[in-house]
Structure 1
Amino acid sequence: MTTTSAAKPPRVRKPRKRSTRLTRSDRIWLTVLLGVPALVVVGLVWLPALGTVALSATNWDGFEPLGDAKFVGLDNFRQVATNYPPFWPALQHNLIWLFVTFAIPTILGMFIAVLLDRELRFTRLYQSAFFLPVVLSLALVGFIWQLIYSRDQGLLNAVLGLHGDRAIDWYGDARVNLWAVLVASSWRHTGYIMLLYLAGLKAVDPSLREAAAMDGASQTRTFFSVVFPVMRPINIIVLVVTVIESLRAFDLVWVINKGRNGLELIGALVFSNIVGEGQRIPFGSALATIMLVISVVFIVFYMIAIMREEKR
């Protein structure tokens, strides 16, 4: 009886990795496409930011030679915290701005995105209508809402039947002007949040929703248990964008009353100290540095979260 040895499986040759060699022309184009944006970012963002941090530790008045400026350390920051009355109200208003932006336009924008993701009739028209305020500048938004909030000829007072002495000066009354401005800002910010969440919903794998539907989950349960966790990168982007937008809020309040009489914000204080009549450049630089530090904290948080997502 003859025995046959087991046939050996044929060897599978591994494909060789092709080495991609860049030509001289490719290197030139890569250098241009990467180098020019990098130089623009460094020249227009990082160098001014580092210069602002450096000026915050000096007493330079903007007129004398920069070499004659004296190093004062953290003295400008101590002055901001102790001898500058508008700072703490401005910080409080920025925090209120942040809370309201999270509570109203973020949730409302996500809700609108969920509705539009169902491919309703005239979806494109609704998307354009909600996104239109985002295209407008905050200065123009302020003028538009001025027509609504005007004390004598405004639409809101006319609808509420408030005339004469009963009319409310929505932009001039320090008790209500911050909330009136927040309504205008939320009107603009909602469309931006809607666009971010709508893009995230379009990227969700449809099989996840189908599996949840087969398990008998309702649409609400499917969204909060399946879809919303998958959109974690979008949620992080919305968080960072909302925080930065709340810190850099400036245009709207400056158009109304230059950030005074109840509308004090850190961004307006920075502008008024650096470009305004006082021209206290180190003082304004200290305020800008505080904004920069707070923003960098959330940007670092965003980068760490994104890198963790890539590792997964």
Structure 2
Amino acid sequence: MTLTAAKSKSRRRRAFTKGDRLTLSLFVGVPAFLHIVWVWIPALLTVALSFTYWNGVQLSNIRWAGLANYDTIFTASPQFWSALRNNTYWLLWFSLIATPLGVLLAYQVDRRIRGHKIYESIYYIPVVLSMAVIGVIWRFMLGPTGLVQVLLGYPGIEDAIPIFGNYDINTYVILSIASWRHIGYIMLLYLAGLKSVDPSLREAAAIDGATEWQSFRKVVLPAMKPVNVIIIVITVIESLRAFDLVYILYGTSTGWPILGMLVFQNIYG
């Protein structure tokens, strides 16, 4: 027994050769180092600088401020609360509407309904476009002479519905446009996860008399826990880093303030 254990331990020690270590160093160590240098260190420095006064030019101008900057944001900057509210709307919309729709579409496409390949391609198109390009497309479509105004029967600058001039309309417009891409993105992620689920699990559930909804809720969802975690993380990140779409549609105006736009305005005036 001791000899067998020693041999097993020896084999484990010989598992990594010099070539393996070099490969790990290059493909794991280097990216990890760059990630720490370009992501974590700047992030931690940003947190540290938030407690100081600094013009961003000379390090000698850094002065300790304590919580003064946070006090200014929370008490003397009403735009911050408007931006935080809109980002919260974005997160809730994605979480309660866009993401569930993406999951539903993925489930329907995975069932191989008639024309599922066509649907999959149609929903995939927005995903390959950047949010800036999507913003340009929808700005033309929703503009005074755009396709949407023509379909509504209000073509022309004088008769057009001021879609970008009403805050309440702006909220639904921006969230709907963002969802156009997000739904397809979630559909692709979830569709990939559904294809990895063992079909025998569904078959066993069907034999036990489970309905499609019961099978999906009690069998498929638990089996796709890693994908669900990724989708939750992506949904939160997409909601908090929203900037380019709002910038393309509204510029630097306060038509629909978000945190990213507030940071941009404070940096560039």
**Normalized against structure 2, the TM-score is what?**
0.90
Residue number in structure 2 paired with 1:159: 151
Q: Distance in 2 between matches of 1:100 and 1:83?
A: 28
Q: Among residues 83, 108, 132, which one is paired with 2:125 in the alignment? A: 132
Instruction: Quote the offset at 1:92 in angstroms.
Output: 0.5
2:179 maps to which of 173, 183, 186: 186
Quote the offset at 1:40 in angstroms. 1.7
Would you say the 8 A contact 1:93–1:265 is kept in 2?
Answer: yes
Q: Structure 1 residues 199 and 133, CA, compared in 2 at 3 Å: closer, same or farther?
A: same
User: Which residue identity lines up with residue 239 of structure 1 in the other structure?
Assistant: I
Q: Contact conserved, 1:101 with 1:242, CA < 8 A, in 2?
A: yes
With 160-169 and 181-190 compared, the bigger mean Cα shift is at 160-169
Q: Residue 216 of structure 1: which of 185, 209, 216 is its match?
A: 209
- Partner SS for 1:176: helix
State which structure, 1 or 2, has the greater radius of gyration over its C-alpha atoms: 1
The Cα of 1:168 is off from its aligned counterpart by 1.4
Report what 1:256 is aligned to. Answer: 249
C-alpha displacement at 1:121, in angstroms? 4.4
Unaligned ranges ≥5, structure 2? none
Q: What does the per-residue CA deviation read over 1:249-277, in whole Å, with 9 as the maximum and x for residues that have no partner?
A: 01001112235333100011112212x12
- Give every structure 1 segment of 4 or more consecutive aligned residues whose post-TM-superposition deviation is greater than 6 Å: none
Does structure 1 residue 80 correspond to structure 2 residue 73?
yes
Return the alpha-carbon distance in structure 2 between the equivalents of residues 136 and 114 of structure 1.
23
Shift of 1:182: 0.8
Distance across 1 between alignment mates of 2:233 and 2:252: 24
Give the match for residue 105 of structure 1.
98
User: Residue 163 of structure 1: CA displacement?
Assistant: 4.3
Partner Cα distance (1:228, 1:203) in 2: 12
Whether contact under 8 Å (1:81, 1:87) holds in the other structure is: yes
The separation in 2 between residues aligned to 1:25 and 1:201, in whole angstroms, is 37
Given that 2:146 and 2:155 are in contact with CA atoms closer than 8 Å, whether structure 1 keeps it comes out as no
RMSD: 2.1
Number of residue pairs the alignment of both structures matches: 263
Task: Note the C-alpha offset of 1:42.
Answer: 1.3
Corresponding residue number in structure 2 for 1:197: 190
The unaligned stretches of length 5 or more in structure 1 are 1-10, 278-312
Q: Which SS does the other structure have where 1:175 is aligned?
A: helix
**How far 1:225 sits from its partner (Å)?**
2.6
1:230 Cα deviation from its structure 2 partner: 2.4
Normalising by structure 1, report the TM-score.
0.78
**Pair 1:223–1:181, CA change in 2 (3 A):** same
2:26 equivalent to 1:37: no
* Equivalences for residues 1-312 of structure 1 within 5 A: 16-17=7-8, 18-21=11-14, 22-63=16-57, 65-150=58-143, 152-163=144-155, 165-274=158-267, 276-277=268-269
The letter of the residue matching 1:67 is S
Please tell me the residue identity of whatever aligns with 2:183.
Answer: T
Question: 1:133 deviation in Å?
Answer: 0.9
Q: Work out the CA distance in 2 between the residues paired with 1:120 and 1:257.
A: 40
**Bigger helix fraction:** 2
For residues 170 and 80 of structure 2, the distance between their equivalents in structure 1, rounded to whole angstroms, comes to: 18
Structure 1 position 166, deviation (Å): 4.7
